[in-house]
Amino acid sequence: MKKLTIFALFLICSLSFSQVDFKKGSLAEIFDMAKQQNKPVMVDVMTDWCVWCVELDNLVYSQPEVSDYANANQINYKIDAEKGEGVAFREKYKVEGYPTILFLDANGNEIDRIVGYSPVAQFKVYMIDYSKGVNTFKDLTAKLEKDPNDLEANYKMGEKMMFNDKLDEARKLFKKVIDNDSENKSGRKDDAEYMLADISEKDVIITNLENFINNNPESNVLKDAYTEIGNAYQNNGDNKGAEKWFKIALEKFPGDQAVKISYSRYLNALARTIGKDSTSTGDDFRKALTLLDRSLTYTPLNSTAAAQAFYWQSVMHFKLKEYSEAMESIEKAIKIFDNKTYREQREKVEKQLSKR
């Protein structure tokens, strides 16, 4: 009972609302506020079904190193891309995926954007740079016009192209960095090699990532390489290979949150496969529950990876006709991420409990 109470308190504390002060009101009111305070606007374009939007709220916006800067230096605003003003806003700024975080001046002109989820350290760098007009598309374009061989500008522009799904352009820029810095004096050659490997086609990505790891044993991006090769093995259906590389990453970076969450999602996927297999037995469902218990030890209890684990716990308990346990798990999932799939699971469990 004591363990359950401690867990519940931890979960409640970890689910406190984002510390970033997202202003309320219409877009016109937000831009008026920006003009009055002479600040840029950060607009989080999201949807209510977006997993990574929830992850931003719980793991990034909640961190003081992000929220303190955001609240002091810019006007922050959330807009649902599928509701109200968000529909026209999405079309105007050509937003195609979620989350997309737009940085705009007080007149609504785009400074730059972050596409997709970025962890705290990376998000903070982007936010500070863009608020100062540094390393934006405009800034990098000007630098490359002045010096086409500026290695840092080539690399950062390559990143920008990659995040915007312009992979051919990204490859050209990364290759230019590699070709013009054989001794890695800029510190960007290995970064560019990793990026090239990471955006390889599915049939060669594992080979390219392994070559990168073998050729760059001291690289500062090895952590990313280990987790990405684990993901690649998993995507190819090779769980033994995935387990090997995730374990290496966990051993080398035991305290790294991103590594642990990646492994947690991998364990969730193994359990999901069992849950969806029509030939699975009661023993299989017990095995899945063991995997999910392990998953929850590797991820913050306010992450969407935890929500996934709790959801699949509920599914396994339901299949085992353990309806009270199924309800307990799905309620935990919904506290983290309230979505249609989880609510439907709760309804299924409620029907069974009502028959008792």
Residues 120 and 147 occupy one common structural domain? no
pLDDT at 297 over 50: yes
Summarize pLDDT for 26-71 with one digit per residue, the tens. Answer: 999 999 999 999 999 999 999 999 999 999 999 999 999 999 999 9
Q: Are residues 49 and 142 in the same domain?
A: no
Q: Are 89 and 27 a contacting pair, CB within 8 Å?
A: yes
Whether pLDDT at 17 is above 60? no
Residue 124 has pLDDT above 70, yes or no: yes
Residue 18 pLDDT level (bands cut at 50, 70, 90): low
Distance CA 288, CA 99 (A): 31
In a domain, 275, yes or no: no
Structure token digits, residue 340: 């249609």
Residue 252 has pLDDT above 90, yes or no: yes
Which DSSP letter does residue 131 get?
H
Cβ contacts of residue 172 below 8 Å, gap of 6+? 158
Q: Examine the domain organization and report whether 145 and 170 are in the same domain.
A: yes
Tokens of 184: 């890695």
Q: What is the 3-state secondary structure (H, E, C) of 107-175?
A: CCCEEEEEECCCCHHHHHHHHHHHHCCCCCHHHHHHHHHHCCCCHHHHHHHHHHHHHCCCHHHHHHHHH
Share of the chain above pLDDT 90, in %: 92
Of 178, 199, 220, the one marking the end of a domain is 199
Give the pLDDT of residue 9. 36
Say whether both 186 and 96 belong to one domain.
no
Nearest to 184 by CA among 147, 219, 213, 143: 219
Q: Is 297 among the domain residues? A: no
**Residue 314 falls within a domain, yes or no?**
no
What totals of helices (H) and strands (E) does the chain contain, helices first? 18, 5
- Is a pLDDT exceeding 70 seen at residue 147? yes
pLDDT average, residue stretch 261-280: 97
Q: Of 173, 199, 225, which residue is a domain's last?
A: 199
Q: What is the pTM of this model?
A: 0.86
Residue 168: other Cβ atoms inside 10 A: 8
Q: How confident is residue 15, by pLDDT bands cut at 50, 70 and 90? A: very low
User: Any idea which residue has 């935890």 for tokens?
Assistant: 306
Identify whether 226 is part of a domain: no
Give strand pairing partners of 104.
41, 110
Please, what sign has the CA dihedral across residues 4, 250, 233, 194? positive
Average pLDDT value for the chain: 93
Q: Which pLDDT belongs to residue 356? A: 75
Residue 98 belongs to some domain of the structure: yes
- pLDDT exceeds 70 at position 106: yes
Chain centroid offset of residue 255 CA: 18
For the domain that residue 80 is a member of, what is the CATH number? 3.40.30.10
Residue 348 pLDDT more than 80?
yes
CA quadruple 94, 99, 100, 106: dihedral, nearest 10: 110
pLDDT computed for residue 13 by the predictor: 39
Asked if residue 55 belongs to a domain, the reply is: yes
Q: Examine the domain organization and report whether 97 and 194 are in the same domain.
A: no
- DSSP H or E stretch at residue 104: strand 100-104
When mean pLDDT is compared across 10-24, 163-177, 220-234, 313-327, the lowest value belongs to: 10-24
Total domains present in the chain: 2
The answer to whether residue 266 sits within a structural domain is no
In which domain, by residue range, is 64 found? 18-134
Q: Residue 191 burial (CB < 10 Å; 0-12/13-18/19+)?
A: buried
Q: E strand or H helix at 75, and its extent?
A: strand 75-80
Q: What is the mean pLDDT of residues 223-247?
A: 95
Angle between helices 151-163 and 189-198 (to 10 degrees): 20
pLDDT at 355: 86
Decide if pLDDT at 248 tops 50: yes
Rounded alpha-carbon distances, angstroms, from residue 52 to 24, 57, 78, 215:
22, 9, 14, 33
32 shares its domain with 81: yes
| Residue 38 and residue 130 in one domain | yes
102 has pLDDT over 60: yes
| Domain end residue (candidates: 100, 115, 134) | 134
What mean pLDDT is predicted for residues 292-306? 97
pLDDT band at 87 (very low <50, low <70, confident <90, very high): very high
122 and 190 in a single domain? The answer is: no
